Amino acid sequence: MEKGISIKQAIYEAFSIEEKDIRTYSPLTLAYIGDGVFEMIVRTMVVGEGNVAPNELHGHSSHIVKAASQAAIYKVIEPCLTEEEADIYRRGRNAKPKTAAKNASISDYRSATGFEALMGYLYLTDQLERALELSRKGILESGVLPDHSSLGKSGI
Catalytic residue, chosen from 35, 87, 126, 147, is 35
Nearest to 139 by CA among 59, 51, 71: 71
Look up 126 and say whether it is catalytic: no
DSSP state string for the chain: ---S--HHHHHHHHTTPPP--GGGS-HHHHHHHHHHHHHHHHHHHHHHT----HHHHHHHHHHHHSHHHHHHHHHHHGGG--HHHHHHHHHHHH---SS--SSS-HHHHHHHHHHHHHHHHHHHTT-HHHHHHHHHHHHHHHT-S-TT--TTTT--
Just list the catalytic residues: 35
